[in-house]
Chain A
Amino acid sequence: MTPKPKAAKAKAAKARPAGTNVSKPTLSPKGRASNPTLSPEGRGQGEGIRSLTVWQHRVPLRVHVRGRGPAVVFFHGPWGLTWGPFLDALAQRFTVYAPEHPGTAAGEPDAIQHVDNLWDLVLCCDEVLAQLGLRDVNLVGHSFGAMVACEVAALQPARVKRLVLIDPIGLWRDETPVVNWMLLAPADIPAHVFKNPDGAAAKALFALPEDPEGAALARTRLSWAMGATGKFIWPIPDKGLKKRIHRVTASTLLVWGADDRLVPRTYAKEFAGRLADSRLEVVAGAGHAPHLEQPEATARVVQAFLAG
């Protein structure tokens, strides 16, 4: 069951992280296109992709590691890991660890079959932190990944220094339901995730390659990523976080895209009302994924909070 770490595969992945969406927007004010690859030059030690297995060796998963400084663990959202300018910016001051959700890494779709429920998933994440040797961490999560980050912070409150929740799910209000993106037509999803569905960030996440095989693979991975994350939130993303969130002691930054069409901003109040210490930053010009659509502005508030 345990896949051996594949050196050649890891090397190839360094050149272009397979199965990872690479966003193209520029970050530098000088207009330099951000380097989407995990280039080893001038980086900290142990960078690249680390392959781990957790959960009695049943769940292989990959962690993208980059940067120098205190540890930040980033949990991605329902459409898979996108390493782009936002994480690049964090990696300038922190060591960013970005695990791929079970089943979403290329070549390992069935890993998700061994993670039965949210309790399993949260303990898997805990095992990932243990295997990475991270005792005191900052957690950053987006959407579904923010719910996971919040659960991990509730499980291990003493080990989480700071928590950043970007357009999180995990709570429910009948009056303002969270949109179930898994029921949307594929063509309608970009306009629900992004303020500008024609922008570079939306294209980086959702545009399909022109060759038919590449398009089939991309379509399959995207759907499978939604299924593998959706497993823990169907049909309503309220799976008991409201009963556990009081355990979180970390100072928390809530980040919301000003035009989130999936998770209304009123949920920021729901989170803030249940967290001991939190504040909200709203990012203009962004929908449900401000770290992809406005990476500079989002990185700025997150970095300031984590450093503060």
Chain B
Amino acid sequence: MKVSAFHLMPHRELPPDFERRHPSVWVTPPWWELADARRVGQYYNWTLDELLHAARAGFDGVCTNEHHQNAYGFMPSPNLMGSVLAKQTNGLDVAIVQMGMTLPTTSPPVRVAEEYGMLDCISGGRLVAGLPLGSPMDVNLAYGITPMEHRERYREAFELVLKAWQAKEIFAWNGKYFQLGQVNLWPRPIQEPHPPVWVPGSGSISTFDFATDHNVCYCFLSYAGARAASAMMDGYWDVVDKKGLERNPYRAGFLQLVAVSDTDAQAEADYARHVEYFYHKCLHVPAQWFAPPGNQDYRSLLAANRNPVRRAEDPKTLRYKDFVEKGYVIAGSPATVKERLIEEVIKRLHVGNLMILVQIGSMPHELTLQNIDLFAREVLPHLREIWDDKGWENHWWPQSLRATRAPVGAAR
């Protein structure tokens, strides 16, 4: 089992009436009214410190991601954060999991191959290369990519990046969206033939096919928990079976929100308002922006329109107890968290690469460190060996880090 600490780098201090006064946390939140650059500098530094703390406390990897024009998670350049993490974790058996640089908005996409090459070199070959499609809010609304071209552009960029890493000869790329006369990547990554590739998705069937066809790790990034994800992940494993691939749990990643305290009651006292802040404010986005016309192909769109039941419930109607009960958040004592993670998430979804959102919404720095410490000390040791008896190899993890990481005491 590989367990990584995931961070969104959210605005932690939005006003209580934020979601009533503003139409969206994404694309349109007014910076001048809601943010202060010096304070935001503090958020970035806390974020880096929290991820480094997780690395030292025993997590197997640290995850950053890319989003634009929002207060939900604003690391427009995940690689700026990743380079600090790569440098500061040298000497630790920790993967730098970039979840990652958005392909369709990076032009030319060899920039992704170059920067990931740099990170792999700086980290000594510890990079996990996330190659995300990007959300419509980021790609279509903030970065102006035509919705109908979003996925096709992604597929072309993906092929280009993979080829740029591996080609022994200089090559010309005569694509539909990108034309480059002589591609000759400097630097190349340490890992050969290339760093492990993870493709995050949100349950679209076409991404299952893409992930299995390219033999990458499919990561379901959901905020609705494992119960809501089970049908989706079953669909993924069906595709794996149908294509005759091995049911290796490391072929799948899953993101889970986790909040640990000494007791279940203490967890509620510690985390309830931060969890509600996350679901009520950080996910405050007009529903139609998740699917602007043309972003989904016709068949997926028709399938979605035929099955309105698949639409998630409105989290604004839920409170902390609901989020915990439904498994959106796994919160409570170490024993509660351990049991639910193992049964509801890891075993039920058959997942080998788990990402834990360790900082949730408005969760302050000290509380985040506590969450990381308790998880690393009381929960993580019980997860590490879950798949070991089956003899699965994590082909989607840096080769030098595949062995079980030695236990680490909490750093504080």
Contact = CB atoms under 8 A, between A and B. Distances in A.
B203 interface: no
Contacts of B149: 231
Interface stretch (A12-20, A211-219, A275-283): A211-219
A233 to B, nearest CB: 9
B305 A219 contact: yes
A304 interface: no
B305 A230 contact: no
Interface in B128-159: 140-141, 144-149
B310 interface: no
B293 interface: yes
A101 to B, nearest CB: 13
Contacts of A215: 305
B295 interface: yes
A228 interface: yes
Contact of A227 (B141, B144, B295): B295
Given A231-B294, A235-B140, A223 B301 contact: yes
Contact of B176 (A112, A116, A213, A216): A116
A230 B298 contact: no
B178 interface: no
Contact of B294 (A185, A213, A228, A235): A228
Nearest to B288: A185
B312 interface: no
A219 B294 CA distance: 13
Contacts of B168: none
**Residue among A110, A224, A225 having the largest count of chain B Cβ atoms under 10 Å:** A224
A158 interface: no
A230 B294 contact: yes
Contact of A230 (B146, B176, B301, B302): B146
A119 interface: no
A110 B298 contact: yes
Nearest to A218: B305
Contacts of B305: 215-217, 219-220
Contact of B148 (A112, A217, A220, A235): A112
A300 to B, nearest CB: 33
B147 A227 contact: yes
Interface string A207-246: 0000011011101100111111011001100000000000
A230 B289 CA distance: 15
Nearest to A186: B288
If over half of B's interface residues share one DSSP class (helix, strand or loop), that class is named, otherwise mixed; here it is helix
A1 interface: no
Nearest to A231: B148
Interface in A106-131: 109-110, 112, 116
Contacts of B140: 234-235
Contact of B147 (A212, A217, A234): A234
B237 to A, nearest CB: 27
A7 interface: no
A183 interface: yes
Given A112-B148, A216-B305, A220-B301, A182 B292 contact: yes
Contacts of A109: 298
A307 interface: no
What are the 3 tightest A-B residue pairs by CB atom distance, in nearest-first order? A227-B294, A227-B293, A109-B298
24 contacts: A182-B147, A183-B141, A185-B286, A213-B306, A216-B306, A217-B305, A223-B293, A223-B301, A224-B293, A224-B294, A224-B298, A225-B293, A226-B294, A228-B294, A230-B146, A230-B147, A230-B148, A231-B147, A231-B148, A231-B149, A234-B145, A234-B147, A235-B140, A235-B141
Interface of A: 109-110, 112, 116, 182-186, 212-213, 215-217, 219-220, 223-228, 230-231, 234-235
Given A112-B148, A223-B294, A227-B295, 11 more contacts: A109-B298, A182-B294, A183-B292, A185-B287, A216-B306, A220-B302, A220-B305, A226-B294, A230-B148, A234-B146, A235-B144
Interface of B: 140-141, 144-149, 176, 286-289, 292-295, 298, 301-302, 305-306
